[in-house]
Amino acid sequence: MTKHRRILLKGIAGDKKLDLISRYARMLVELGKRDPKVRDLAVAVTRGCRSKEYLCEARTLHDYVRENVRYVKDIASSHAPLVK
């Protein structure tokens, strides 16, 4: 089960905030790429791409995320449920 957390970055200077966000994003990528559900979804989404056709895979995944993932700046004040 994925545990969602909220990180508040108030009062942190711009460069340091960007560095923290960047490190957190890299950590999430590392965790996500080991999740079998994430891999299974990526394989299903890129099924139309030939093996090792990386540009096709990147475009297909980008399009999938653009069409299916909604960015919410402050999830705590949103009425949208968290996706698990």
Q: Locate the domains of the chain by residue range.
A: 14-74
Taking residues 19-31, what's their average pLDDT?
A: 86
Nearest CA among 72, 77, 75, 79 for reference residue 5: 75
Residue 46 and residue 60 in contact, taking contact as beta carbons nearer than 8 Å: yes
For the whole model, what pTM was predicted?
Answer: 0.55
Q: What is the spatial distance between Cα 28 and Cα 11, in angstroms, rounded to a whole number?
A: 23
Joined together, the tokens standing for residue 77 give 């004040």
Q: Among the residues of the chain, which ranges form H helices?
A: 14-33, 36-45, 54-68
- Give the pLDDT score at 60: 97
Q: Is the pLDDT of residue 84 over 50?
A: no
Nearest CA among 69, 45, 66 for reference residue 57: 45
